[in-house]
Amino acid sequence: MQTSLRRTSTARMSKFVPVASISEIPVGTSRAYIVGDREVAVFNVDGTFHAIENGCPHQGGPLSEGWIEGKVVTCPWHAWCFDVTDGKMTLGGFTSVDAFDVQVEGSTIKVSAEPRV
């Protein structure tokens, strides 16, 4: 998987920050971006984009570099699994990562500067 990080605007005035073109994240892949002060992994699941915090809570493994199967990403470091739609851990559910809303406008993917509450 491609692992380059690209810094995006840190302006908090706009709730959604443009991060990529839809062509940059093909179906079944993900990429990491800096959105404001957060590192966010954006996933393309069957043409629908989802965004979660990129760092695994176990030891900080990059979830954007994990294995994607359906809506579940497996951390490449120690195999913790998370649902990319809501950030919840699938193995036991004792932890989660923040999930972010995503908008697609034309061919531009935008991620919320703030996680869901």
Contact between 20 and 107 under an 8 Å Cβ cutoff? The reply is no
Spatial distance between the Cα atoms of 5 and 47, rounded to a whole number of angstroms:
21
pLDDT at site 4: 55
Q: State pLDDT tens for residues 43-57.
A: 999 999 999 999 999
pLDDT bucket at 37, cuts 50 / 70 / 90: very high
Domains and CATH numbers, the chain: 5-112 (2.102.10.10)
DSSP letter (8 states) at residue 62: B
Residue type, 60: G
pTM of the model as a whole: 0.87
If one compares 5 and 46, the residue with the highest pLDDT of the two is 46
The tally of CA atoms less than 13 A away on the side-chain side of residue 71 is: 12
